Structure 1
Amino acid sequence: MLTLEIPTLPLKSDSSGTIRIGRTRVTLETVVYAFNQGYTAEDIFSQFPALELADIYAVISYYLNNRKAIDEYIQQQEKEAAQIKKQLESRPGYQAFRQRLHAQKTEGR
């Protein structure tokens, strides 16, 4: 008799609530975004060789079966990122720092 082992999802939530794939720093939204842009699992693997190909397929399968929940998670992540960006940009000295970076970039041309 064939005994099948049910695989566990290669998704782990870090201390900030960000979902990462396997033991890598690659985020769930990175793979979902690439998949939604038309990239295959193999294409994604070639861009993120730290990932396991089987894990990419598992993540895509999980996404396709839980699209609404994952899309909501990604929207929440984007909202939090926008809030952090806004906080950083409102710090004193931020605009001066950006101007210095721009000047260095322009001088380097």
Structure 2
Amino acid sequence: MSKEYVSKTNGAYRLMGTRVSLDSVVYAWHNGLSPESIVDEFPVLTLEQVHGALAFYLAHQDEIDEYLRLSEAEYEVLRQKHIEQLRATKPQLYEKLMAHKQRRAEPAINLKSD
């Protein structure tokens, strides 16, 4: 008898009985977390659920990878749309945010002399 660990509801894959997305578990695993570490990151999950989710992912890898790719593309479109809306409606806030982003991207200057 096989047990179900993942369901697709409203176009999103979730671990059964939780609000945790399959995306979260797969990304954590791709970023090098072990199943035990994923449980630590998502205390609502059991080790069995994480292994079940990863088994589901591996059994449907092409389908899930395509779903993740489309989700990332959709997110980027929405992010760009939001940035353009912010630029048009609140240009001062937009400029502040861009300046902050630029400062964070610049490497820190080491003033310590040897």
Asked if these proteins are the same fold (TM beyond 0.5), I'd say: yes
* Runs of 4+ off more than 3 Å: none
CA contact (8 A) 1:89 1:95 kept: no
Unpaired runs of 5+ residues, structure 1, are 103-109
- Between the aligned partners of 2:3 and 2:53, the Cα distance in structure 1 is 12
- Between the aligned partners of 2:65 and 2:31, the Cα distance in structure 1 is 14
Name 1:11's counterpart in structure 2.
Answer: 7
For 2:43, which of 21, 46, 49 is the aligned residue?
Answer: 49
With over 3 angstroms needed to count, the CA separation of the structure-2 counterparts of 1:7 and 1:97, relative to structure 1, is same
Per-residue CA deviations over 1:64-106 (Å, capped at 9, x if unaligned) read 122111110100110110111011111133543342795xxxx
Unpaired runs of 5+ residues, structure 2, are 101-114
Q: Sequence identity of aligned pairs in percent? A: 28
For 2:66, which of 72, 77, 88 is the aligned residue?
Answer: 72
Name 1:24's counterpart in structure 2.
Answer: 18
Report the count of equivalent residues. 96
Q: TM-score, length-normalised on structure 2? A: 0.71
Which structure has more relative contact order (CA 8 Å, sep 6+)? It is 1
* Letter of the 2:38 counterpart: I
